[in-house]
């Protein structure tokens, strides 16, 4: 039997340590986050009473926070141009990304911001994508894997011909999403998919 020696500098092991550090961090209510500097990764947790999310919410109540509904990242502005690892100034990238999600949750007609919590971790920019990918692979969060669109931005004037996302169909309220074309799938069909996914 071949035994492969453990390499702490292997990229998967480093990425795993980043993900583990996030999961060991403190949770915060989404509503009322204070500004901070840094880029990194985050996980959002749901604890409310939206019926289809009940199996998920049960895992996150009483301070357990075992199953994120969404995992994401915020990279420094320069990283979007391929400058990972070059110490681009992050500014408040991570805080601003979380605030975008807060606005989306406030806008949703059938969700309450008080039911959402998050963990976040400021990370050197080169490890951000790997940490996010490992967390998504580990938890398969429903808003990453099935109900797409939570992290979308306003496409801008003249670009609303695209189809409304599953997230905006299931959780209407974002004014810009209402300008997009209606999906073929109804909210009832998406709910059925969601229920089967979380069983």
137-153 pLDDT, tens digit each:
889 999 999 999 999 98
Measured CA to CA, the distance from residue 157 to residue 113 in angstroms comes to: 28
Nearest partner of 71 among 11, 165, 138, 24, judged by Cα: 138
Q: What is the CA radius of gyration of the chain?
A: 18
199: its two tokens: 């069983």
Q: What is the DSSP letter of 44?
A: E
**Collapsing DSSP states into helix, strand and coil, what is residue 181?**
strand
Q: List, for residues 71-86, the tens digit of each pLDDT value.
A: 999 988 765 555 554 5
Average pLDDT over residues 82-103: 80
Nearest partner of 43 among 59, 9, 87, 161, judged by Cα: 59
Tell me, rounded to whole angstroms, the distance of Cα 62 from its chain centroid.
21
- pLDDT for 60 equals 96
Q: List, for residues 10-22, the tens digit of each pLDDT value.
A: 666 666 788 888 8
- pLDDT for 13 equals 61
CB 115 within 8 A of CB 61: no
- pLDDT for 143 equals 98
Nearest partner of 141 among 64, 76, 74, 60, judged by Cα: 60
Nearest partner of 16 among 4, 5, 26, 24, judged by Cα: 24
Measured CA to CA, the distance from residue 113 to residue 145 in angstroms comes to: 22
**Alpha helix positions (H), the chain:** 11-23, 54-60, 93-107, 128-139, 142-145, 166-170, 187-198
| pTM of the predicted model over 0.85 | yes
7: its two tokens: 């390499």
Using CA of residue 78, residue 84, residue 90, residue 93, what is the dihedral sign?
A: positive
Q: Percent of the chain at pLDDT above 70?
A: 85
């Amino acid at each position: 039997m071949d035994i492969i020696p453990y390499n702490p500098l292997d990229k998967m092991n480093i990425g795993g340590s980043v993900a583990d550090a996030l999961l060991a961090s403190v949770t915060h209510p989404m509503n009322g986050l204070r500004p901070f500097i840094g880029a990194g990764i985050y996980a959002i947790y749901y604890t409310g009473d939206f019926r289809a999310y009940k199996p998920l919410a049960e895992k996150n109540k009483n301070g357990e926070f075992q199953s994120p509904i969404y995992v994401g990242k915020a990279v420094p502005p320069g990283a979007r141009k391929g400058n990972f690892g070059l110490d681009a100034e992050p500014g408040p990238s991570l805080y601003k990304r979380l605030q975008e999600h807060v606005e989306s949750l406030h806008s949703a007609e059938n969700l309450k911001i008080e039911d959402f919590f998050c963990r976040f971790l400021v990370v050197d920019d080169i490890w951000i994508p790997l940490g996010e990918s490992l967390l998504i692979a580990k938890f398969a969060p429903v808003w990453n894997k099935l109900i797409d669109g939570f992290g979308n931005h306003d496409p801008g004037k003249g670009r609303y011909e695209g189809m409304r996302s599953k997230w905006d169909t299931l959780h209407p309220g974002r004014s810009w999403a209402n300008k997009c074309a209606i999906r073929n799938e109804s909210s009832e069909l998406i709910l059925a998919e969601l229920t089967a996914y979380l069983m």
